[in-house]
Amino acid sequence: MVKAVVAWFAVAALLLQGTLATQFSTELRSDYYDLSCPELQSTVARTSWYKYNNSRVVAAGVLRIFFHDCWVTGCDASLMLMSTPGNEAEKDAQENLSISGDGLDAVTQAKLAVEEICPGVVSCADLITLVARELIILAGGPRYQLFYGRLDGRTSRAEDAVAFLPRARDSMDQLIQNFANQSFSIREMVALLGGHTIGFAHCSEFDYRIYNYSSTVKVDPLMNSTAVETALGVCPIGVDVRIVGNLDNTTPEDFDNAYFQNLQQRGGVLESDQMLYEHPLTKPFVNMYAANNTLWYQDFVAAMEKMGTMNVRTAPGPDAEIRQDCAFINPRP
Ligand code: HEM
Ligand SMILES: *[C@@H]1O[C@H](CO)[C@@H](O)[C@H](O)[C@H]1NC(C)=O
Ligand SMILES: *[C@@H]1O[C@H](CO)[C@@H](O)[C@H](O)[C@H]1NC(C)=O
Ligand SMILES: *[C@@H]1O[C@H](CO)[C@@H](O)[C@H](O)[C@H]1NC(C)=O
Ligand SMILES: *[C@@H]1O[C@H](CO)[C@@H](O)[C@H](O)[C@H]1NC(C)=O
Ligand SMILES: *[C@@H]1O[C@H](CO)[C@@H](O)[C@H](O)[C@H]1NC(C)=O
Ligand SMILES: CC(=O)N[C@H]1CO[C@H](CO)[C@@H](O)[C@@H]1O
């Protein structure tokens, strides 16, 4: 059995009550559902495949959901919760309005199918990691081992998403700091950003680079002429706010290192992506991954596994449960 040791928590509440200071290690395990839901993996492989056959864009949708869920108060499926009167949820934060509905549905479909075979056993947080992994495989990416045992949270606040999520117009120093804040190295950050090898960005995230880059230059000088032409074609002036362009213009549906090769040719779409090649601390990793897909897969998988352990809750408590419906917390008696 393989274990991923996650973290040690001091139980502050017990200290306050004057009880012995207790520490427990929370760990995720690869065999966590082997007895309680032996058909989990094959069931989710089937629902994911079905979604992917209908529309390939779902792969990127779920990968981004995994990132945004884990990055904001830990991998607890808080991203899937609906806003309620008086509480705006993470999903509806400005940064998150572009969360893929198709991606959310892929997790919901997996949950429905899994509830049929082993009701009340598998958390939405674990399903996000599993659906993301299945879809990465279908998009041609690496197959990697998963660790389970996350519980779902009961809170989701838009302001947390605003506080934690990085933005495409942040400087590279800010982005490095954002990742360092969550204990991710520069190398891990570059490896994870390779996730932009699939999926889309709305014109509003990058069209300033072709129309209104700065007070002195209209077009971002770090964008090659092909990339400028593509962006002009996708995002004409006054374009509908729903229109999107590829993040990787050479192989948009393939989970490969073309994303890094694009950056070497100044063909990146988001400014934050292109800056990885321009900043001295990140450029060496772009070159490494552009030259060696196997190496990128290795680093990507390791960083994904680490991301999957962020602030996970494995012990039942007031803010931890196995949600019945991923969009709502369970009713409490
Ligand atoms: C510096 C950090 C990051 C920034 C600034 C960033 C920014 C963005 C932006 C602006 C979009 C377009 C959103 C839209 O317009 O709908 C996007 C999409 C996406 N991001 Fe990131 N991102 C970052 C890190 C990551 C990481 C770590 C992952 C996963 C490993 C990831 C996966 C994705 C995916 C798959 C999409 C496409 C979503 C879709 O097509 O539905 N991103 N990102
Ligand atoms: C998806 O498409 C592939 C190839 O067309 C097919 O072999 C497979 O049965 C389909 N799977 C599902 C679940 O629809
Ligand atoms: C990093 O964390 C510090 C302290 O919590 C915070 O003030 C700062 O805004 C964070 N920086 C970024 C880029 O997220
Ligand atoms: C161009 O950018 C500047 C500064 O970022 C902004 O104030 C201005 O409104 C923008 N103009 C257009 C046409 O988007
Ligand atoms: C711009 O970059 C893309 C890769 O994203 C490349 O295919 C294209 O040839 C480049 N164009 C120029 C003019 O360098
Ligand atoms: C690519 O990276 C892999 C994994 O680290 C390594 O085993 C392999 O030797 C590298 N290939 C080349 C051509 O450097
Ligand atoms: C900050 C941001 O990008 N907000 C946008 C989120 O998505 C909605 C609808 O797609 C836009 O209207 C916002 O401008």
Handedness of CA 70, 76, 77, 82 (dihedral sign): negative
**Confidence (pLDDT) at 276:** 98
What would the mean pLDDT of 125-134 be, rounded to a whole number?
98
Give the whole-angstrom CA distance, residue 75 versus residue 110: 17
Q: Which two tokens stand for residue 29?
A: 């395990």
Within 10 angstroms of residue 320's Cβ, the number of other Cβ atoms is: 18
- Is residue 4 scored above 50 in pLDDT? no
- The mean predicted confidence, pLDDT, of the chain is 91
- Ligand 3 touching residue 55 (CB < 6 A): no
Q: Are residues 139 and 203 in the same domain?
A: no
pTM for the whole thing? Answer: 0.91
More confident residue, 25 or 180: 180
Instruction: Indicate if the alpha-carbon torsion angle 229, 250, 66, 175 is positive or negative.
Output: negative
Domain-located, residue 283: yes
Asked if the structure places residue 178 within a domain, the reply is no
Catalytic residue among 56, 68, 209, 313: 68
Residue type at 280 in one-letter notation: P
Residue 6 has pLDDT above 80, yes or no: no
Q: Please tell me what DSSP assigns to residue 305.
A: H
User: Given the structure tokens 């129309």, which residue do they identify?
Assistant: 211
Please report which helix (H) or strand (E) contains residue 98, including its range.
none
Q: Give alpha helix (H) positions in 212-330.
A: 225-234, 258-264, 271-278, 283-291, 293-307
Instruction: Give the largest CA-CA distance in the chain.
Output: 67
The whole-number pLDDT of residue 96 equals 57
Q: What does the chain come to in residues?
A: 333
Tokens of 122: 């598998």
Of all protein residues, the one whose alpha carbon is nearest to atom 12 of ligand 7 is: 241
Structural domains in the chain (count): 2
Ligand 5 site, residue 324, Cβ cutoff 6 A:
no
Q: Does 151 share its domain with 193?
A: no
Nearest-angstrom CA–CA distance, 1 and 172: 40
Answer yes or no: is the C-beta of 178 below 6 A from any ligand 3 atom: yes
Contact (Cβ atoms closer than 8 angstroms) between residue 89 and residue 82: yes
Measured CA to CA in angstroms, residue 236 lies from 88, 223, 240, 249 at distances of 33, 17, 9, 17
Residue 88 in any domain: the answer is: yes
Token representation of residue 173? 């120093």
Three-state DSSP class for 313?
coil
- 53 CA: nearest ligand 2 atom: 1
279 catalytic? Reply is no
Q: How far is the CA of 293 from the centre of ligand 5 (A)?
A: 19
Q: How far is the CA of 273 from the centre of ligand 5 (A)?
A: 15
Same domain, yes or no: 46 and 134 = yes
Q: What is the mean pLDDT of residues 83-105?
A: 87
As a whole number, mean pLDDT of residues 159-180 equals: 96
Domain harbouring 281, CATH code: 1.10.420.10
Same domain as 94, residue 194 = no
Over the stretch 181-224, which tens digit does the pLDDT of each residue have? 999 999 999 999 999 999 999 999 999 999 999 999 999 999 99
107 & 238 share domain? no
13-71 pLDDT tens trace: 333 333 333 333 458 999 999 999 999 999 999 999 999 999 999 999 999 999 999 99
| Shared-domain flag, residues 144 and 192 | no
Q: What is the pLDDT of residue 26?
A: 58
CA distances in angstroms from 7 to 19, 27, 113, 309, 320, listed in the order given: 21, 8, 31, 8, 16
Ligand 2 pocket test: pick from 43, 52, 53, 109 the residue with the most ligand atoms within 8 Å of its Cβ.
53
Q: What is the pLDDT, as a whole number, of residue 24? A: 37
Of 164, 197, 221, which residue constitutes the final position of a domain?
164
Q: 293 and 199, same structural domain?
A: yes
Query: Is 326 inside a domain boundary?
Result: no
Residues near ligand 7 (Cβ within 6 A): 94, 97-98, 204, 241
Residue 165 has pLDDT above 60, yes or no: yes
Residues 154 and 284 in one domain: no
Percentage with pLDDT > 70 across the chain: 91
Q: Could you tell me which of 109, 110, 108, 106 has the C-alpha nearest to residue 33?
A: 110
Burial of 215 (0-12, 13-18, 19+ CB in 10 A): exposed
CA 136–ligand 1 middle distance (angstroms): 15
pLDDT, residue 10, reads: 31
Considering the domain boundaries, does residue 321 fall inside one? no
**What is residue 7's predicted lDDT score, i.e. its pLDDT?**
35
Counting ligands in written order, the one closest to the CA of 46 is: 2
**Helix or strand run (H / E) with residue 3:** strand 3-10
Domain membership of residue 172 (yes or no) is: no
- Residue 31 is part of a domain; what is its CATH number? 1.10.520.10
DSSP state of 4: E
Q: What is the per-residue pLDDT for 95? A: 64
Residue 117 sits in the same domain as residue 239? no
Query: Which atom, in ligand 1's list, is nearest to the CA of 63?
Result: 35
- Say if residue 108 is in the same domain as residue 205: no
**pLDDT value for 332:** 83
- Cβ of 94 less than 6 Å from ligand 3: no
**3-state secondary structure (DSSP) of residue 200:** strand
Predicted pLDDT of residue 333? 72
Distance of CA 137 from the midpoint of ligand 2 (Å): 14
Q: Of 276, 254, 274, 258, which Cα lies nearest the Cα of 266?
A: 274
* Residue 147: pLDDT over 50: yes
- Express each pLDDT in 268-300 by its tens digit: 999 999 999 999 999 999 999 999 999 999 999
58 lines ligand 1 (CB under 6 A): no
Structural domain boundaries, residue 149: 23-164
Is the pLDDT at 329 greater than 90? The verdict is yes
* Predicted pLDDT of residue 97: 67
The pLDDT assigned to 98 comes to: 80
Q: Identify the pLDDT of residue 5.
A: 40
Count of C-beta atoms within a 10 Å radius of residue 310: 20
Inform me whether the pLDDT recorded for 8 exceeds 50: no
Q: Is residue 187 part of a domain?
A: yes
- Identify whether 235 is part of a domain: yes
**pLDDT classification of 12: cutoffs 50, 70, 90:** very low
Q: Which of 105, 137, 164 is the last residue of a domain?
A: 164
- pLDDT of 20: 31
Assess whether the C-beta atom of 177 lies below 6 angstroms from ligand 5. no
Query: Is residue 2 pLDDT above 50, yes or no?
Result: no
Residues 151 and 52 occupy one common structural domain: yes
Residue 96 shares a structural domain with residue 222: no
